[in-house]
Structure 1
Amino acid sequence: MHNIMNLFKVLLSIFITLCVLQSSSCLAIKTKKSYIVYLGGLNHELEPDQIKDSHFEFLGSMLGSKEIADEAMIYSYNKQFNGFAAILDDEDAARIAEHPDVVTVIENKGRKLHTTHSWDFLKLEKHGSIGSSSLWKKARFGENIIIANLDTGVWPESKSFNGTGFGPIPSKWKGGCENETLVPCNNKLIGAKYYNKGYQASYMKMDPSMKNARDHEGHGSHTLSTAGGNFVPGVSVNGVWLGTAKGGSPRARVAAYKVCWPPTLLGGECDDADIVKGFESAIHDGVDVLSVSLGGLPADYMDDGLAIASFHAVKKGITVVFSAGNDGPYPGTVTNVAPWVITVGASTIDREFQSFVNLASGLNLKGLSMSKPLQHSGFYPLINAADANAKNATVMNASLCSEGTLDSKKVKGKILVCLRGGSNGRVDKGTQAALAGAVGMILCNDETSGDEIIADPHVLPATHITYTDSLRLNAYLNSTKASPMMDETKNEASPFSRGAGHIDPNRAANPGLVYDLTANDYLDFLCTRGYNKTMIQKFSDEPYQCPENNSILDFNYPSITVHKLNGTVTVSRRLTNVGPNGSYTVDVKRPAGISVEVKPQILSFGKKGEVQKFELTMRADGTRVIKDYVFGELTWSNGKHHHVKSPIVVSVA
């Protein structure tokens, strides 16, 4: 054995020496990663197979042979945009990026998933009754609209996706269901596909049983049913909160594109190459709305596969809705910020799943829970999980109620106090408490979680209480009902926190005026970001000339933002009439320390589709020192039902 080890050491030293003396000898062990090579718009004179062949020829010419290209290729994007995904080393990727036909080369990124009474809160119904003025009735509950999501797949047996009562599938639909024996479709669930080649190239091979569109995680079924699930009466969680579940468009058809897989040690769940392929497939299949509840860190648009793919979807008239992410509330934590998509944040609503903890001392603590209350009228012993650790478990891990850390002899028959945090989720903590024999659980926030509490469906009676209550045990939790437009500190939310605010679907269906945006507006936006003519042309599928004197300040967004105001600045906007004829008068709540002048102050519209422009001029008025952003509001009103509001955000140089 000693001689074998010495021989191994000699061989290893020889190999290292060869690597030092001949760098080419070590090229074979260079790390390879997956990349997306974006070539811009399609040549519509070519068939998809011809475009696919051109991708293999191009990659083969760059890597040295068609055989190497065949092995490296992951996906060819050839139906809606021009590009491919391939496994490359850094040098090959850099060399390909320099080719004149290449718009950009994007390193494949791993994305993370973002995660009933909502429709009452949004005034589409009231206490389960749907009024005649509800947008649901006016829009026929989304009849025959096709909604798709890019997520973890779908659970086809869910009643939310039952096809009973639906007519024939819309004739425009080109999609379908892969492996219908495992994921059967119907006239409601009309599409189910999966893409995992990018994930497998970047992370790991997967069990063949996973290679289908069935949802083994739950996130995809949740988001798809939220968007387009059927009316399903008699729904409850653990036997409580009985009601009717329904999606935003209950009569819509739905399709699932599974692009997310089990989390890896590197944190990835959803791979860009797979997501982009899902986008291309959904566009080709004929969806109307794409829901995408996943994301990563913000990136430049040319380095963001999701931004590029969603641009092509929007150009085809598809509404793309992204989640804003799970991070924050700190600056710069919103993801999916391309201006051509709708980015949706989270908020509280005007309902709580209240639960109470009654202590023998007479103290009552209010928390949130979706569990059945304890039926016994007396008191149970209370034990801190930190005091219930198993022999081989640390106090810290036990306090988090992690798997295998609790001593059932100490826990059995008691209410267990667990700390939020760690690697295990909130519901799993309840599961561990139940397995250890607890009759109930109190989940306490740690300091970093503060007073944010969440109602979860636990397997045993459980209540989630705040950090404040965890420390003092005598503070009554403030209700979030005070105002849905407060930020996490209970102060009035600024536009940075609330964005455009809560949507009112009924009023949004009849806004009066809109700040319309076209594909050319988005290209102008890219021009202001410094994209050159060649890049813009490939991004847009056709020649495009950036306007002279183009300014980001004139991008026709409903919000008006001026960063580092210096002197006098004028911004312009245009409004399109989509309501009755009439005149609108402007009202301005100016930001503190900023003078604001709007010209003209009255806009008159004589027909639908008419466009009117206005200018807004701002300057610091010298009445105060402005150290941070200040906020105002501009409103166009016809004095009746239409009030078109825009936030004004200004900082001073």
Structure 2
Amino acid sequence: MCQVNGLLRAICLVFLTWFWVIFHVTSFSAKRFTYIVHMDKSVMPKVFNSHQNWYSSTVDSLNLKNLHSFGGHRSSPELLYTYDHAAHGFSAVLSLAELEALKKAPGFISAYPDSSAQLYTTHKPEFISLDTASALLHASNYGKDTIIGIVDSGVWPQSPSFNDEGITTKVPSKWKGSCDRGQGFNSSMWNAKLIGVRYFNKGAKENIPLYIQDSALDRRGHGTAVFSIAAGNYVKGVSFADYAEGTAKGVAPHARVAVYKEDLFKNSVAIATFAAMEKGIVVSAAAGNSGPHCSSVENGFPWALTVTASNTDRQISGTLIMGNGLNIAGWSLFPGYILSQTMPLLHEKTMSNCISPVLLSKSPYGIVICEIGDIKRQIRSILRVNLTAIILIHEDPPGVVFQVKAPYPYIVIRPKDASFVITYAKNGNTPFASMRFRQTFIGIKPAPTVAFYASRGPSKDFPNILKPDIMAPGTLVLAASSPYSREGSTGSNNFAKSSYMFKFGSGTSFSNPHVAGVAALLKSVHPKWSVAAIISAIITTASIRDNTMHPTREANINFETASPLAMGAGQIDPNKALDLIFDATPQDYVNLICSFRRFKPQIKTITRSSNYSCVNPSSDLNHPSIITSYAFKNFMRNKGISEDRNKCRRRCTNL
């Protein structure tokens, strides 16, 4: 075809290009995606006796209207789930043409593609003063009969953290949930602790059907860890490679838990949390792990608690013992005991940046010292070669040690300590050292410090409300896990298999369940408090000082004083959060939304109702913390940082 020259060739080329464009556009329009659709339930035709029938009929009607011309292909829209609590509407698999037709249907409000959101112990409860003598813990009877709902990657029910020992009462009559059976998950696995198990995987199976299990069983380990931090029961003699040995327990050890395995929709979080607030359910959400850049905080809704992460006073340690008599305690999760033999300390220019696996592979026998640099590239590099031992340098060692997982001895140290090591390696007479592992130190100062990785404010959506709200332990948290999980692995496969029940994790998604547990305890003591009251009690009683009685600091080189944009109101202090409250109603939050012009078209989507109005838009919310854009802009200008917070890539520290 088209074996001609000149003008005919050009005409033929244009025809082929036109045909390809038409075919490509038509094929793309026929391709089907999963969408979350919000409907106005108040306009449901009277002919339908339930919203489920209405939604089903609406989707079926699309099947009759959309006949694609190529090959006589008829699209087949599929209804996946219907929603009538956190949202009004449904999820469905639709083509672009079907989506356009749906937008003309009565009651349609909005639709957006389904997309997955990022999934953002033995000492942590004591660190936030929830020990056996805790006033809040006793007043709440350890969270008795409070129910915590967790939306995550599922649960591993065989974990000892989910035993129901000490929970002697029946499941509260207010509980209306259920338990889904599934692959590897039967009725014998739920008890008086684990009272609800649901999974929602139809949308995910549309995209990756071979890898999605019909079960709430947690193969990733993340949901299991979050569950155990918030409400895990007491488990004695827990450790990971003898690190952090002690009794594992959640913040509310006798609370009940309902677990929901679901691919989260980013756009649905605001809607679901608003609905929960209306029903008196306190929601805490992770702030994200995109720090220390400005305006990187996620889930910055004023009706939910946005939780950031801190480092604690516990050091999971490895010690470097140098030939000049100096010992330096760093951080390590290496499962060995003592690297007793002394080895040369190596600091060579050709490999000291440690980003080239080729150069590192040529390293002679000894302990390689990596200069401070791009830690992510260094970690990728050292995992590709076999070294005798290695020293990494970073300003926030506890925040990065979890990522290392090297199969050979390693220690991560701070820059101020590294200067002594490098000086000795350069100037010493045949410098040498050995290493010792499986050490845990308590009482490290200063603590808490703001984790280096934690996302920073202000919120892009609600810049006049201070976000994050609160800080809680999130670094190197020892929590229950799944045997299939690679999270928390030390790089030693044999050891990881033998210690799967509890592993270390870091991130704001590990700090978040601490706050959820505290909210559950407060709800036990004050069952009539509103969501706003509980949120304000937690925020207004937070601590802004560390264990040296100085203002809380950043976990960076200079331990700079942390700003509210980094730590919110400060570290959570549960025992003080019993009295002082600020209250607000759902309409108060709607008035705040209405005060932002760009949100007005989304009012009905968020509130799922026509009962709210924008008659009195106001940014004057009775909230325990605020931020003024004037002060923020002045400070950014004085620091020489761009005023455009959306483009700010500088570190948002010491503000």
Q: In which range does the TM-score fall when normalised by the shorter chain?
A: 0.5 to 0.7
Gap change, CA 1:220 and 1:54, over 3 Å in 2: same
Give the letter for the 1:324 counterpart.
A
The question of 1:207 aligning with 2:211 is answered: yes
Give the letter for the 1:233 counterpart.
K
Residue matched to 1:345:
308
Residue matched to 1:613:
none
Q: Given that residues 231 and 250 in structure 1 are in contact (C-alpha distance below 8 angstroms), is that contact kept between their aligned partners in structure 2? A: yes
Residue matched to 1:104:
110
Give the letter for the 1:495 counterpart.
P
SS in 1 for 2:250: coil
Equivalent of 2:582 in 515, 534, 553: 515
* 1:93 Cα deviation from its structure 2 partner: 3.6
Gap change, CA 1:560 and 1:108, over 3 Å in 2: same
Q: Give 5+ residue unaligned stretches, structure 1.
A: 4-12, 260-269, 273-295, 297-303, 566-590, 593-623, 630-650
SS in 2 for 1:379: strand
SS in 2 for 1:561: coil
Q: Given that residues 315 and 519 in structure 1 are in contact (C-alpha distance below 8 angstroms), is that contact kept between their aligned partners in structure 2? A: yes
Residue matched to 1:50:
50
Paired with 2:416 and 2:587, the residues of 1 have a C-alpha distance of: 51
Paired with 1:256 and 1:366, the residues of 2 have a C-alpha distance of: 40
1 or 2, which has the higher helix percentage? 2
Post-superposition Cα deviations, 1:288-329, rounded to whole Å, max 9, x if no partner, equal: xxxxxxxx6xxxxxxx21111221122111111100000112
Paired with 2:565 and 2:270, the residues of 1 have a C-alpha distance of: 21
Equivalent of 2:89 in 60, 63, 83: 83
Post-superposition Cα deviations, 1:85-124, rounded to whole Å, max 9, x if no partner, equal: 233444554554465622222232231111x322112111
TM-score (norm 2): 0.64
The question of 1:308 aligning with 2:311 is answered: no
Q: Give 5+ residue unaligned stretches, structure 2.
A: 2-10, 68-73, 425-443, 448-547, 640-654
Residue matched to 1:328:
291
Equivalent of 2:594 in 527, 548, 569: 527
Paired with 1:370 and 1:395, the residues of 2 have a C-alpha distance of: 20
Paired with 2:41 and 2:302, the residues of 1 have a C-alpha distance of: 20
SS in 2 for 1:119: helix
The question of 1:156 aligning with 2:157 is answered: yes
* 1:204 Cα deviation from its structure 2 partner: 2.1
Q: Given that residues 44 and 51 in structure 2 are in contact (C-alpha distance below 8 angstroms), is that contact kept between their aligned partners in structure 1? A: no
Give the letter for the 2:194 counterpart.
L
Residue matched to 1:442:
391
Q: Given that residues 239 and 246 in structure 2 are in contact (C-alpha distance below 8 angstroms), is that contact kept between their aligned partners in structure 1? A: yes
Paired with 1:327 and 1:124, the residues of 2 have a C-alpha distance of: 29
The question of 1:253 aligning with 2:256 is answered: yes
Number of residue equivalences: 495
Equivalent of 1:555 in 610, 621, 625: 621
Equivalences for 1:597-636 in 2 at 5 Å? none
The question of 1:487 aligning with 2:492 is answered: no
Post-superposition Cα deviations, 1:60-101, rounded to whole Å, max 9, x if no partner, equal: 444544996754433332455321223344455455446562
* 1:214 Cα deviation from its structure 2 partner: 1.6
Gap change, CA 1:384 and 1:157, over 3 Å in 2: farther
SS in 2 for 1:150: strand
Paired with 2:44 and 2:370, the residues of 1 have a C-alpha distance of: 60
Gap change, CA 1:315 and 1:452, over 3 Å in 2: same
Equivalences for 1:21-420 in 2 at 5 Å? 25-30=23-28, 32=31, 33-40=33-40, 50-62=50-62, 64-65=64-65, 71-90=77-96, 92-94=98-100, 96-97=102-103, 101-114=107-120, 116-125=122-131, 130-131=132-133, 133-167=134-168, 168-173=170-175, 174-179=177-182, 181-182=184-185, 184-201=189-206, 203-207=207-211, 210-259=213-262, 270-272=263-265, 304-371=267-334, 374-375=337-338, 377-381=340-344, 396=355, 398=357, 415=367
Paired with 1:144 and 1:320, the residues of 2 have a C-alpha distance of: 18
Residue matched to 1:500:
569
Give the letter for the 2:39 counterpart.
L
Paired with 2:236 and 2:369, the residues of 1 have a C-alpha distance of: 35
Paired with 2:51 and 2:393, the residues of 1 have a C-alpha distance of: 57
Gap change, CA 1:399 and 1:319, over 3 Å in 2: farther
Choose between structure 1 and 2 for higher RCO, CA contacts under 8 A separated by at least 6 residues: 2
Paired with 1:47 and 1:352, the residues of 2 have a C-alpha distance of: 65
Paired with 1:238 and 1:625, the residues of 2 have a C-alpha distance of: 46
Of 35-44 and 352-361, deviating more is 35-44
The question of 1:541 aligning with 2:547 is answered: no
Paired with 1:66 and 1:92, the residues of 2 have a C-alpha distance of: 7
Paired with 1:64 and 1:385, the residues of 2 have a C-alpha distance of: 72
Paired with 1:383 and 1:195, the residues of 2 have a C-alpha distance of: 53
Q: Percent identity?
A: 28
1 or 2, which has the higher strand percentage? 1
